[in-house]
Amino acid sequence: DAGVIQSPRHEVTEMGQEVTLRCKPISGHDYLFWYRQTMMRGLELLIYFNNNVPIDDSGMPEDRFSAKMPNASFSTLKIQPSEPRDSAVYFCASSSRGSTEAFFGQGTRLTVV
Amino acid sequence: AQKVTQAQTEISVVEKEDVTLDCVYETRDTTYYLFWYKQPPSGELVFLIRRNSFDEQNEISGRYSWNFQKSTSSFNFTITASQVVDSAVYFCALLFSGAGSYQLTFGKGTKLSVIP
């Protein structure tokens, strides 16, 4: 299995632009998580899905952030409009309840200038 | 609410020294899982170990060992005879799975530097 795949690995964008981060979970996993990592706040859970349905989005910082999971093999995290304070590494992870282990993608390093 | 505290922000040791990374957690749940992840300089998060709340047996894997004590809500990680390749940020995490929720909460991490 190729593991959790995120794209792009790096993204540099100008303030105000729309940014879309992508994630392909491990086949067969029914949970998908989006995390944000910053020096100040560490690893924060933004949102997670179960069977493609958003379960808890209380970690999404504000309305500029949105996440979708149109099918079991794909999810997006969108920021519109982006701001410099959104600069961080965004991780996607997938899991299945039976394994109780989350497998992480390699992350997307986002820089908003 | 769940919380994971890693009080050590940064630790430096000389190669071949033993080092223990502390992790203290808070949860009101009786069923939960504890994890350690390693984040090397390349940035990915690498799973190291998982323990469930009903299994307090300590575990050893090569130079790594873990001490889980429910009485003190701690899940400490020891590296024996540290090596330069152990330099990384190590995260402790707590998973609660139940009542329609499934959440993995991370500590702030401990940055370990192993000096040759």
pLDDT (tens digit per residue) in A34-58: 999 998 889 999 999 999 999 999 9
Position B30 scores a pLDDT of 85
- Inform me whether the pLDDT recorded for A90 exceeds 90: yes
Collect all residues of chain B within an 8 Å Cβ-Cβ radius of residue A104. 37, 44-45, 47
The mean pLDDT of chain A is 93
> CA-CA distance, A35 to B38, in Å (whole number)?
16
Position A102 scores a pLDDT of 85
For residue B40, the chain A residue with the least C-alpha distance is A106
pLDDT digits (tens, 9 = 90+) for B20-71: 999 999 998 888 999 999 999 989 999 999 888 888 888 888 999 999 999 9
Taking the Cβ of residue A93 and every Cβ of chain B, the question of whether any pair is shorter than 8 Å is answered with yes
CB contact under 8 A, B103 and A56: yes
- Using alpha carbons, select from A66, A83, A50, A90 the residue that is nearest to residue B101: A50
Position A89 scores a pLDDT of 97
The backbone region for B73, taken as left when phi is positive above 0, alpha when psi lies in -120 to 50, beta otherwise, is: left
Quick one: which H or E segment has residue B34? strand B32-39
Position B100 scores a pLDDT of 65
Q: Tokens 């079991």 appear where?
A: A72
Say which residues have a Cβ less than 8 Å from residue B85's Cβ, sequence separation at least 6: B114
For B11-26, give one letter per residue: b (16+ CB within 10 A) or e: bebeeeeebebbbbbe
Say which residues have a Cβ less than 8 Å from residue A41's Cβ, sequence separation at least 6: none
CB contact under 8 A, B45 and A50: no
DSSP-derived 3-state class of residue A101: coil
pLDDT digits (tens, 9 = 90+) for B101-116: 778 899 999 999 999 9
The residues pairing with A84 across neighbouring beta strands, listed in sequence order, are none
Collect all residues of chain A within an 8 Å Cβ-Cβ radius of residue B44. 104, 106-107
Q: What does each C-alpha distance from B24 to A32, B29, B54 come to in angstroms?
A: 26, 15, 17
CB contact under 8 A, B103 and A48: yes
Entry field: residues in chain B: 116
